[in-house]
Amino acid sequence: LCGYALFMSRNQKTFRPKKNAPSGNKGVQLKKHIDATLGSGNLRDAVRLPPGEDLNEWLAVNTVDFFNQVNILYGTLMEFCTPATCPTMSAGPKFEYRWADGVQIKKPIEVSAPKYVEYLMDWIEAQLDDESIFPQKIGTPFPQNFKEVVKTIFKRLFRVYAHIYHTHFQKIVSLKEEAHLNTCFKHFTLFTWEFKLIDKAELAPLIDLIESIVSVC
Q: Tell me how far apart the alpha carbons of residues 161 and 215 are, in angstroms, rounded to a whole number.
A: 20
How many structural domains does the chain have? Answer: 1
Q: Is 154 domain-assigned?
A: yes
What local confidence, expressed as pLDDT, does residue 101 receive? Answer: 86
Mean pLDDT over the full length of the chain: 85
Q: Is 148 domain-assigned?
A: yes
What local confidence, expressed as pLDDT, does residue 41 receive? Answer: 61
Whole domain around residue 141: which residue ranges?
Answer: 21-216
The CATH number for 188's domain is 1.20.140.30
Q: Is 125 domain-assigned?
A: yes
Q: Is 137 domain-assigned?
A: yes
CB 99 within 8 A of CB 111: yes
**3-state SS, residue 123:** helix
What local confidence, expressed as pLDDT, does residue 45 receive? Answer: 84
Q: Is 155 domain-assigned?
A: yes
Q: Is 14 domain-assigned?
A: no
- pLDDT band, residue 110 (cuts 50/70/90): very high
Query: For 115-125, what is each residue's pLDDT tens digit?
Result: 999 999 999 99
Query: For 145-202, what is each residue's pLDDT tens digit?
Result: 999 999 999 999 999 999 999 999 999 999 888 888 999 999 999 999 999 999 999 9
More confident residue, 133 or 19: 133
Sign of CA dihedral 137, 189, 154, 18: positive
Q: Tell me how far apart the alpha carbons of residues 28 and 154 are, in angstroms, rounded to a whole number.
A: 21
